[in-house]
Amino acid sequence: MAELVFFNGTMDCGKSTLALQMHHNHAARGRAGLIFTKLDRAGTAVLSSRLGLSTPALEVTDDLDLWEEVVGMATAGGRVDYLICDEAQFYTPAQVEQLARLVDEMGLDVFAFGITADFRATLFPGSQRLIELSDRVQELQVEALCWCGRRATHNARVLNGVMVVEGEQVVVGDTSPAASGLVEYEVLCRRHHMRRMTSHAARAAALSPDMLPFGLDICPVPPPAM
């Protein structure tokens, strides 16, 4: 049975790497697929991994009708067995509904990859609709780590070295300087996200003679399970 599967996790947990691997595995078995992405850090119409792997992709714009795009290709004689949809948090809710329709009415497997919440710990509209409609919602097992060593659960936006909690929901970072400065992202545990304690702030506190009320506020790392 065809499925809509949403693979999710924080940044740095290997979502795009898994997307590339799944495409390779299905193509190696003779299946024909399409790769979609939106606002990839490497540029337009490319799916890239932080490990350095990349492949050409179809860029998703807000006005792209995924149902019409895929049905049009199939009507023209193209074969489509599955879709790889990276950066799916940036898709519109209507586009997620189009993906579900492709699963139900055309029997395509759709594998979507994305983060669930933004830098304010608020669900992206696309991710929310994926959680609501997907046949399976699967959290990736590769855990990204906060600077303190605990499991990272939140994505933080850092502007010129300072964590911010206000601004537009979608701003591509890592390599793109914004008009007001350099935008970067960092993964944090919930405690340090709520306290706005990034790795930069922690290093600054460690070097400062005026320590925080609770020292450096490092979360103890729990012992491994027996």
Question: What pLDDT does 224 receive?
Answer: 54
CB 102 within 8 A of CB 108: yes
Three-point CA angle 133, 13, 66, nearest 5°: 35
Residue with tokens 């860029």: 59
Distance in angstroms (rounded) separating the CA atoms of residues 19 and 3: 15
* Per-residue confidence (pLDDT) for residue 86, from 0 to 100: 96
Whether 148 and 218 have beta carbons less than 8 Å apart is answered as yes
Q: Would you say 10 and 60 are in contact if contact means Cβ atoms under 8 Å apart?
A: no
pTM, two decimal places: 0.79
Q: Which of 108, 110, 78 is nearest to 91 (CA)?
A: 110
111 CB contacts (<8 Å, ≥6 apart)?
A: 5, 7, 19, 22, 82, 83, 84, 85
Q: What per-residue confidence (pLDDT) applies to 176? A: 46
If you compute the radius of gyration of the chain from its CA atoms, what whole number of angstroms results? Answer: 19
Please give the Cα distance from 197 to 79 (Å, whole number).
49
Report the pLDDT value the prediction gives residue 144, as an integer from 0 to 100.
84
pLDDT of residue 208: 57
Q: What letters, b where the CB count within 10 A reaches 16 and e where it falls short, cover 86-102?
A: bbbbbbbbebbbbbbbb
Residues of the chain with pLDDT under 70: 172-181, 207-226
pLDDT value at residue 173 = 54
Could you please report the per-residue DSSP string of 95-148? HHHHHHHHHHHH--EEEEEE-SB-TTS-B-HHHHHHHHH-SEEEE-SS--B-TT
Catalytic residue, chosen from 68, 87, 132, 184, is 87
Domain range list for the chain: 4-139, 154-207
CATH class of 4-139: alpha beta
pLDDT, one tens digit per residue, over 157-178 is 988 888 888 878 877 655 444 4
Count the Cβ atoms, other than its own, within 10 Å of residue 38.
25
Going by DSSP bridges, is the β-strand pair 154-159/136-139 parallel, antiparallel, or unpaired?
unpaired
Q: Examine the residue annotation and report whether 87 is marked as an active-site residue of this protein.
A: yes
Contacts of 57 (CB under 8 A, 6+ apart): 35, 36, 37, 40, 45, 46, 47, 84, 86
